[in-house]
Structure 1
């Protein structure tokens, strides 16, 4: 069946423009100097209290926004994201005090939690044969927007001597443009779970080994403990309700039944997705590494400010952020076109995970701003390269429509881990480490992640070595198993 909005160019162009302007934020690389400068006059300890609010709000809002994204069909959540960005920068300009800045971080957590709508919207308004193309365009737009914003901010600060306050004014104008454009996005007519078209199961097809038929895949993805599940889905998720039905039943029973069916389907889909061992391993790396990545990106400006205070010397945060984002995007692009065998991908994962741990350790120990800049660039390049490999390995086991679910679950686990790490390392009730102590703890964390996957790598090598002498036996077992299957009668 043809998707709503068969012409992919119009919605893709609008979404890319929206994503571009929403990410052109010249002031973002200078957020910590702005908060600790004369405009906000906060201390380092107060800034340390502000940033964890983003982690907590992102974690709390992520699952409800994920459900609301599907139920409201994507566009309203993209508009909400744009509105939250505008509110964030209005507060950054005019709000004062520690409490106001914490509320600001809450709205920014809403922004990041709503990203799932931006990256999954396009699949509901274009044909499946252009998925890969439009995905690349949309992700490229956000990356280019962030790079342009960072470079612009650095040029304005270094050469035009524009104040950080006016940089935030420029950021506000850009995110407001993105918000206005989001209003004109076409409204999708369907979604993956709540608004599915009758007989459409493509969004629930898992491609583990390429041996199941579409009919078997669709049947295997039905909700748990539901008899005649296909009829339930077609009745309650796809077809509109009868206008003559009782009002009380319409407002109370039907929405509750729809939600129950969708939650059951989500749980069933979750179990089947993560029953694949390769997908589970790469998802574990995704969650563990993303947790540490969020912490580094969140607190790196405080480290830079401690090593080289912006009030006394010239800083180059914007150029470093732009260079790391651009080189990371190039590395991710190159990796996407390089064929990597399973063994070599695991070896590269182990090697580069150790390089990440060493980079974070050098940031903390050397305490030289140029070493810190270089190590940060190396850190981001490696992370973006490896996350691309992880994305490819995970996507190899899934149909495109399930990306949002699996990537959302991985990000949710990363946020849970980040919350625990923040509570232990940052909060005053526990270790309450200063910024150098925090980065030492983060280097130990990445070292532990590298050691964990070293163990997994050795285990996989030993397992493959033991299975290697018996290839004929494995083939015969598979053939016998296939011979036992009784073919369907017409």
Structure 2
């Protein structure tokens, strides 16, 4: 039996292998670290002020508009179709970058890319609908590793092509177009899931309610849930349910989905502990995305790409590896995060704030590069701790909903920052002033969580430390590679 046949006969290895391949090629975008030099250079000839104060904010507004509808659509369409949609829009993205000219085309490009980023939830949710629970940890590790490997390899290859081979930016965008076409073709090989997290129908909803009473994430998959065949088909009874009047797209099922969403929301945000961690998630992610979006403009301000050698791809590769090391370290450091986690959020947020201030005030491109690596590593470390603390106390449905809500809150905050600070219709500040404001924003976050963390540590200092259960131990190993 061939290796491919053995993979298809496995209950989890085949979809995991195909999705990992897709994740690698979809994130191996060698042109991405050089987007700003490409836009403001002779190929697109857009001024730095227009890119900063008009073009990039379009992505923020569009991402916010698409995120929650796409989150619901992803579950409704059962993941695969949305993953294919992401691959298609990635192709359109690089066709526009290669061949479209003019500001209207680049404006549409930002809207198109917002669809790509809003569909990322499908990639990270798909696998849990087609494999048994006991394989969640291994599959998650492979998928996260594929994303990290693709991004790191793409950034490194782009840097080599630009610095050593002197390849033109148009050529690396054309190469990236070929890579994302490969990703799109791979997505056709994914098996079609036969179940959703929320659009389940009455029987599955009753099972869901029973599982909520039994406990959060950690129990094995129940026999009532459909099992995937290798060709993506479920049992005959499940096919009848999906095709009949009580199928997954019926009015009854939509009502059931709404009920499950509400139940999951109540469970997710009934704990002050989870609310606190979710607050940091939303606040810090808003600032992180803002810095990530505009860092290439800061680099170009300090050392213009038109007259200097740039190392954007190399820096992003180092950031990915440093962030991975920081996140993996969380799984091996024995700390009672329930006691000391909030204080760690405050301390490392303060380090991140200092790094952002340094980016704004330095005139050395290498100091700016190093500060960005420190900032991104701190965020990767803290988001890993945060996700672990939230996911270890919630069911998979609740975690998925919390992920969506927290991301939506982060984008809402980022939109407020963009409208106020960046958009030319409001303040339209220059890039240095923007980064000073982002540093101040992170300083406020650090102060809030230093105070909260100090209080939590003092209250719990004399309390007996609760024993961490097995589910939490395995969860941190899974989530250590998340959010790169």
Give the structure-2-normalised TM-score: 0.85
> What residue number does 2:423 align with?
427
Q: 1:461 and 1:147 mapped to 2: Cα distance? A: 37
* Cα distance, 1:180 vs structure 2: 0.6
Indicate yes or no: 2:41 matched with 1:37.
yes
8 A contact 1:206–1:397 mirrored in 2? no
C-alpha separation between the residues in 2 aligned to 1:27 and 1:372? 21
Candidates 378, 388, 399, aligned match of 1:382: 378
What does residue 456 of structure 1 align with? 452
Name the CA distance, whole Å, in 2 between partners of 1:459 and 1:54.
39
Equivalent in the alignment of 2:293: 298
Aligned length: 437
Contact 1:40/1:97, CA 8 A, preserved across alignment: yes
Q: 2:264 touches 2:397 (CA, 8 Å); kept in 1?
A: no
Tell me which of 437, 442, 447 is aligned to 2:438: 442
Aligned residue runs from structure 1 range 318-467, under 5 A: 318-341=313-336, 342-464=338-460
CA distance in 2, matches of 1:202, 1:128: 16
Over residues 242-295 of structure 1, what are the superposed CA-to-partner deviations in whole Å (9 max), with x where a residue is unaligned? 86x7xxxx89x9733432331232122112111112111111111111100100
Does 2:22 match 1:18?
yes
- CA separation in 2, counterparts of 1:242 and 1:25? 39
Is the alpha carbon distance of 1:120 and 1:202 closer, same or farther for their aligned partners in structure 2, counting shifts above 3 Å?
farther
- How far apart, CA to CA, are the structure 1 residues paired with 2:266 and 2:283? 20
Q: Give the whole-Å Cα distance in 1 for the aligned partners of 2:280 and 2:456.
A: 15
Cα pair distance change 1:6/1:269, threshold 3 Å: farther
Change (3 A) 1:368 1:242: closer
| CA 1:213–1:264: 2 relative to 1, 3 Å | closer
CA distance in 1, matches of 2:103, 2:88: 22
| SS of residue paired to 1:240 | helix
User: Of 95, 112, 126, which residue of structure 2 is paired with 1:121?
Assistant: 126
Task: Output the aligned Cα RMSD.
Answer: 2.6
**Inter-partner Cα distance in structure 1 for 2:203 and 2:394:** 22
Say if 1:22 and 1:82, in contact at 8 Å, map to a contact too: yes
Alpha-carbon distance, 1:396 to partner: 1.3
Alignment match of 1:263 (pick from 237, 246, 258)? 258
Give the whole-Å Cα distance in 2 for the aligned partners of 1:177 and 1:133.
25
Shift in alpha-carbon separation, 1:360–1:205, aligned structure 2, 3 A: farther
1:313 aligns with one of 287, 308, 317: 308
Structure 1: gaps (5+ residues): 219-236, 470-490
Partners of 1:386 and 1:202 in 2: CA distance: 34
Structure 2 Cα separation of the partners of residues 65 and 37 of structure 1: 34
Structure 1 residues 387 and 450: CA distance shift in structure 2, 3 A: same
| Partners of 1:453 and 1:320 in 2: CA distance | 29
CA contact (8 A) 1:336 1:389 kept: no
| Aligned partners of 1:196 and 1:238 also within 8 Å | no
Q: Distance in 1 between matches of 2:269 and 2:360?
A: 36
Contact kept, 8 Å, 2:277 with 2:390, in 1: the verdict is: yes
Q: Give the distance between the partners of 2:111 and 2:210, measured in 1 at CA.
A: 36
Q: Establish whether residue 111 from structure 1 lines up as the match of residue 116 from structure 2.
A: yes
Which whole-Å CA distance do the structure 1 matches of 2:386 and 2:88 have between them? 32
Rounded to whole Å, the distance in 2 between the matches of 1:255 and 1:199 is: 14
CA distance in 2 between counterparts of 1:441 and 1:462 reads 32
Larger Rg: 1
What CA distance in whole angstroms lies between the structure 1 residues aligned with 2:292 and 2:242? 47
Q: 2:28, 2:150 within 8 Å by CA — same for their partners in 1?
A: yes
Measure, in 1, the Cα distance between the counterparts of 2:209 and 2:140: 19
Contact 1:5 1:126 in 2 (8 A): no
- 1:200, CA displacement in angstroms? 6.8
Offset from partner CA, 1:148-205 (integer Å, 9 cap, x none): 0000000001110000000001111111100110011000011111136835767668
Cα distance per residue 1:306-362 (max 9 Å; x no partner):
110011111111100010011111211121232221333222222111000000001
For residues 205 and 426 of structure 2, the distance between their equivalents in structure 1, rounded to whole angstroms, comes to 51
CA apart distance, 1:241: 7.1
Is the CA contact 1:6–1:126 (under 8 Å) kept in the aligned structure 2?
no
CA distance in 2, matches of 1:382, 1:408: 22
Q: Within 5 Å, give how 1:473-488 maps onto structure 2.
A: none
Counterpart CA distance in 2 for 1:197 and 1:139 is 33
Answer yes or no: is the 8 Å Cα contact 1:189–1:195 preserved in 2.
no
Is 1:170 paired with 2:192? no
Deviations 1:11-69 (A, max 9, x none): 00000000000011111100000000010000011112111111111111111111111
Q: Distance in 1 between matches of 2:426 and 2:456?
A: 38
Q: What secondary structure does 1:190 align onto? A: coil
Change over 3 Å in CA distance of 1:328–1:98 after alignment to 2: same
Moved more, 253-262 or 176-185: 253-262
